Amino acid sequence: MIEPSIFEQYEALLRSESPVALATVIEGPDVGTKLLVQPAAAPIGSLGHPELDRVVARDAVAELEAARSGVRSYGPEGQITPEDLIDQPTVRVFIESHAPPPQMWIFGAVDFTAALARVAKVLGYRVTVCDAREVFATRRRFPMADEVKVTWPSPVFDELGSELGSRDAVCILTHDPKFDVPAVQGALATRVGYIGVMGSRKTHAKRMERLTAVGVTSEDSERLMSPIGLDLGARTPEETAVSICAEIIARRTGRHVPSLRDSSGDIH
Amino acid sequence: MKDLLEDINRWRAAGERIAVARVVDIEGSGPRDPGAAMAVTESGEVAGSVSGGCVEGAVVGQALAILDGTESAGVTTFGYSDDEAFAVGLTCGGTIHLFIEELNW
């Protein structure tokens, strides 16, 4: 049997949306050589030296984790410390990351949910909608979501919470203490990058009391964007969805755009 | 690269040779991030883009030169840097570095 080429293996991984990084030597002795790297598998191909392969594979896994692509420089035998690189030709390697799409979990099958799911899809999220009420959490109401789950929050976090990372978002739109308290607790137990919780300022204040009562510390609650969204004066579900997604972007890029959490006036 | 797979497969099935250009680095404002890719066949068909349309014409020329062997695979830079002004610039004023090679791997 003929071994599939690196391109064929790369293509198969891209099609199945598996995380994969392709490292290519773009300058140095072996321009064009390739190393195909997956998080938990032996790399495929070679950049010309086993030690270079080992170091680049390690860096590629880190780049993949951060969903980042870029150029890194090494010595021909994988040297990285400046002393080891003196009088050595430089090998520049382009690492192209293909991370799976970031996830957004939306709790609460309400009017705002459909609009938020639509905007999140435009931005490339894999969207899951969760609500314990079977009549509301239906595929028919949320055709744009990748998945609709009829469940309480805790089991979802117990089962899949470890998947969430810094690029992912949890948006809690329920306004219902039975549901939003366990959702907030579940989200705080993960490494998720963004946790937003919807509600009026009054709802927010009551919710914070209940969260404190169940043991959420003030350090934990600093991770919460509550009330959710930027201070845009958004009114409709669609405008609110934009204000939430814009807040997620601003938090990721570290830009100072006024969030509702940090202001005190009317939300609308 | 993912959005180029359909075109690449069609061209490969037809026996065409293909060059691929990928954005590897940008300085200043660049229209496409590292990883953006464009494919060019030896008959001059194109898929994908590496900028907002500013440098694609020049990329096709370089890709064809690599396919016919007059140039070898490597990094090509477009835009303005401190010491040199290139013939083909980016309207956004940034600089992009592309790696262009034949897809023969």
CA atoms within 13 A on the CB side of A237: 13
Residue A23 domain flag: yes
Are residues A115 and A83 both part of a single domain?
no
State whether residue A34 sits within 8 Å of chain B by CB: yes
Amino acid A116: pLDDT: 98
Are residues A143 and A119 both part of a single domain?
yes
Report the complex ipTM.
0.88
Residue A86, classed as helix, strand or coil, is coil
Percent of chain B with pLDDT over 90: 63
CB contact under 8 A, B34 and A15: no
Amino acid B82: pLDDT: 44
Contact between B100 and B66 under an 8 Å Cβ cutoff? The reply is yes
d(Cα A33, Cα A17) in Å, to the nearest integer? Answer: 23
State whether residue A69 sits within 8 Å of chain B by CB: yes
Residue A35 domain flag: yes
- pLDDT per position as a tens digit, A9-28: 999 999 998 999 999 999 99
> Given a cut of 50, is residue A36 above it in pLDDT?
yes
Amino acid B85: pLDDT: 46
Residue A36 domain flag: yes
- pLDDT per position as a tens digit, A54-110: 999 999 998 998 888 999 999 999 998 888 888 888 999 999 999 888 999 999 999
Residue A263, classed as helix, strand or coil, is coil
Are residues A32 and A13 both part of a single domain?
yes
Residue A149, classed as helix, strand or coil, is strand
- pLDDT per position as a tens digit, A106-140: 999 998 999 999 999 998 899 999 999 999 999 99
- The DSSP output letter for A4 is P
Contact between A144 and A114 under an 8 Å Cβ cutoff? The reply is yes
Are residues A153 and A236 both part of a single domain?
yes
CB contact under 8 A, B99 and A70: no
Domain count for chain A: 2
Amino acid B56: pLDDT: 86
CB within 8 Å of A254: residues ≥ 6 apart = none
Contact between A7 and A22 under an 8 Å Cβ cutoff? The reply is no
Are residues A23 and A90 both part of a single domain?
yes
Residue in chain B closest to A8 (alpha carbons) equals B105
Residue A1 domain flag: no
Amino acid A192: pLDDT: 96
| Neighbouring-strand partners of residue A171 | A106, A196
Which CATH number goes with the domain that contains A123? Answer: 3.40.50.720
Q: C-alpha distances in angstroms, A10 versus A13, A93, B47?
A: 5, 17, 18
* B105 CB burial (10 A radius; 0-12, 13-18, 19+): middle
Domain boundary among A77, A98, A119: A98
A258 token code pair: 């006024």
CB contact under 8 A, B1 and A69: no
- The DSSP output letter for A163 is G
Structural domain range at position A65: 6-98
Strand intervals (E) in chain A: 20-27, 34-37, 44-45, 70-74, 91-98, 103-107, 126-131, 147-150, 169-172, 194-197, 224-225
Residues of B in contact with A26 (CB under 8 A): 24, 74-75, 99
